[in-house]
């Protein structure tokens, strides 16, 4: 790979990506364009602009964008249509944010005529894979620079020395090492590393950042109603909300009730197991609500097919293949299934739990007429069931007869 001439850097404004900014200039003698996105991580972005300016980035090379609506509408919601959970439990909060960042990096590279993009993910995690696969899928010619895999700043001391040597301001609280590492966006906060590295030990309370401890949550349940249209939530207690507004509101509700905490050991794409603490308050509510509305509006055949394909779909997102033909094929299948996933779900929020307690819809497939224990006025002929069972049993009988014969 020849040296890059101009690089678009995913820049948070923090110490690590500031060091990367400087290192790119020094190592490659290249011009750096910074990209800072608001994905709902809950931090002010304007300080990132000032920090970039301070480090000498040209104003026209500094990009700060609010991507919250796009993030939820085009990434989070499509994924939730699938009820995606990685390894049965994880709601993919980090995984789903990376492709959008890469998409904007590549688009900005085109605008700036830059030949490379750079990110601050390490060589041990999944995020490097997600950033890079997305970038290559969108521009096969792009160069991707992952300084953590390249440089020799392998200890905290070396990093701080580099920062000092290059006039990068170091916030006081960054002198010491953080006791764990955090990633956040509108969907979730994840924490991992250091104090969390022993999976036998419970996560300390101070790790949790956007949910209260269920013990500290309100002592009385709260009930809410979420309305869906074609698989996406569109109104809360009757009030229409945009995608990002919806997720923000559900995060608040979920956080208040201690909903969405997950302590998980998962299998990384790079082959090792790691332990993460995830907080996905709004997402946890959405998963339950979506299953609730699907339960009355989605046909059994459709639902079971979705369920069988969900693990594969979740794995693709986890592994960084959002922009791949197979993810898009599965999305086409999933979206096709959501045409009638429209209606309202009533949920109980209490002490870390969210539970569906009612659901209704004009699109409902639930037929009280058929299922009733009372007289069904001929809607269903129980004698049909006898034939149904006999025919289903036929191959089992033939098997049993064979087994008797040859044993």
Looking at residues 321 to 350 of the shown chain, list those that interact with its own copies (rule: CB under 8 A): 321, 323-326, 328-330, 332-337, 340, 346, 350
Q: Which is nearer to its own copies, 68 or 340 (CB)?
A: 340
Is 181 a residue of the active site? yes
Structure-block tokens of residue 355:
């539970």
| Residue 123 among known ligand-binding residues | no
Q: Which of 44, 59, 113, 155 binds its own copies (CB under 8 A)?
A: 155
Using rule CB under 8 A, residue 101 touches its own copies: no
Coil/strand/helix, residue 350: strand
Binding span for its own copies by CB under 8 A among 17-25, 128-136, 163-171, 183-191: 128-136
Which long-range contacts link 268-274 to residues 24+ away (Cβ below 8 Å)? Answer: 268/124, 268/125, 268/126, 269/126, 269/129, 269/318, 269/319, 269/320, 270/124, 270/125, 270/126, 270/129, 272/124, 274/125, 274/192
To its own copies, the closest distance from the beta carbon of 230 in angstroms equals: 12
Using CB under 8 A as the binding rule, the residues of this chain from 297 to 326 that contact its own copies are: 299-308, 310-312, 315, 320-321, 323-326
Helices (H), 196-256: 243-256
To its own copies, the closest distance from the beta carbon of 363 in angstroms equals: 5
* Distance separating the N- and C-terminal Cα atoms of the chain: 67
**From 127, 274, 359, 361, the catalytic residue:** 127
Is 404 a residue of the active site? no
| Residue 130 among known ligand-binding residues | yes
Is 98 a residue of the active site? yes
To its own copies, the closest distance from the beta carbon of 249 in angstroms equals: 22
Under 8 Å between Cβ of 99 and 134? yes
What residues pair up with 276 in beta bridges, in sequence order?
A: 192, 264
**From 16, 74, 335, 376, the catalytic residue:** 16
x/- letters, 360..399, toward its own copies (CB under 8 A)? x-xxxxxxx-xxxxxx----xxxxxxxxxxxxxxxxxxxx
Q: Which is nearer to its own copies, 167 or 201 (CB)?
A: 201
x/- letters, 210..239, toward its own copies (CB under 8 A)? ----xx---xxx------------------
Using CB under 8 A as the binding rule, the residues of this chain from 12 to 51 that contact its own copies are: none
Query: Alpha-carbon torsion 246, 249, 253, 258, what sign?
Result: positive
DSSP letter at 90 equals B
Is 376 a residue of the active site? no
To its own copies, the closest distance from the beta carbon of 248 in angstroms equals: 24
Under 8 Å between Cβ of 165 and 308? no
Nearest to 118 by CA among 144, 83, 153: 144
Binding span for its own copies by CB under 8 A among 4-12, 16-24, 129-137, 248-256: 129-137
Using rule CB under 8 A, residue 146 touches its own copies: yes
Q: Which of 176, 205, 238, 273 binds its own copies (CB under 8 A)?
A: 273
Residues 82, 85, 88, 93: what is their CA dihedral angle, to the nearest 10 degrees?
A: -170
Q: Helices 243-256 and 281-297: crossing angle, nearest 10°?
A: 110
| Residue 11 among known ligand-binding residues | yes
Structure-block tokens of residue 395:
């191959």
CA 212 from chain centre, in angstroms, equals 21
To its own copies, the closest distance from the beta carbon of 242 in angstroms equals: 25
x/- letters, 176..215, toward its own copies (CB under 8 A)? -----x-----------xx--xxxxxxx----------xx
Beta strands in 101-195 (DSSP E): 116-118, 143-145, 181-184, 189-192
To its own copies, the closest distance from the beta carbon of 349 in angstroms equals: 11
Binding span for its own copies by CB under 8 A among 67-75, 81-89, 235-243, 246-254: 81-89
Nearest to 226 by CA among 358, 345, 76, 356: 345
- Which residues are identified as catalytic? 16, 98, 127, 181
Residues of the binding site: 10-18, 37, 90, 95, 120, 122, 126-127, 130, 181, 190, 266, 278
């Amino acid at each position: 790979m020849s040296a890059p001439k101009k690089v678009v850097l995913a820049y948070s404004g923090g110490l690590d990506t500031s060091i990367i900014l400087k290192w790119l200039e020094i190592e490659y003698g290249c011009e750096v364009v910074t990209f800072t996105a608001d994905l709902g991580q809950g931090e002010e972005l304007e300080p990132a602009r000032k920090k970039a300016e301070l480090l000498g980035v040209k104003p026209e090379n500094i990009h700060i964008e609010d991507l919250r609506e796009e993030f939820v509408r085009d990434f989070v919601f499509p994924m939730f249509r699938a009820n995606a959970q990685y390894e049965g439990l994880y709601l993919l909060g980090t995984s789903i944010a990376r492709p959008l960042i890469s998409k904007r990096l590549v688009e900005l590279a085109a605008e700036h005529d830059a030949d490379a993009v750079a990110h601050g993910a390490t060589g041990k995690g999944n995020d490097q894979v997600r950033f890079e696969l997305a970038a290559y899928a969108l521009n096969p010619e792009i160069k991707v620079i992952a300084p953590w895999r390249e440089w020799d700043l392998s200890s905290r001391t070396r990093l701080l020395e580099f920062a000092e040597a290059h006039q990068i301001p170091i916030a006081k609280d960054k002198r010491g090492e953080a006791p764990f590492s955090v990633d956040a966006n509108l969907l979730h906060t994840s924490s991992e590393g250091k104090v969390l590295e022993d999976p036998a030990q419970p996560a300390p309370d101070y790790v949790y950042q956007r949910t209260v401890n269920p013990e500290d949550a309100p002592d009385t349940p709260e009930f809410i109603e979420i309305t869906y249209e074609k698989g996406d939530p569109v109104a809360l207690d009757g009030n229409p909300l945009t995608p990002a507004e919806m997720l923000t509101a559900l995060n608040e509700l979920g956080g208040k009730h201690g909903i969405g905490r997950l302590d998980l050991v998962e299998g990384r794409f790079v082959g090792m197991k790691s332990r993460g603490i995830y907080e996905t308050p709004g997402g946890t509510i959405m998963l339950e609500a979506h299953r609730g509305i699907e339960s009355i509006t989605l046909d059994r055949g459709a639902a079971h097919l979705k369920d069988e394909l969900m693990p594969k779909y979740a794995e693709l997102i986890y592994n960084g293949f959002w922009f791949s033909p197979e993810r898009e094929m599965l999305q086409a299948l999933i979206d096709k299934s959501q045409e009638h996933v429209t209606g309202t779900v009533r949920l109980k929020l209490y002490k870390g739990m969210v539970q569906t307690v009612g659901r209704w819809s004009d699109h409902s497939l639930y037929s009280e007429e058929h299922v009733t224990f009372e007289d069904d006025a001929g809607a269903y002929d129980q004698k049909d069931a006898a034939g149904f069972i006999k025919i289903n049993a036929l191959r089992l009988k033939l098997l049993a007869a064979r087994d008797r014969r040859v044993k």
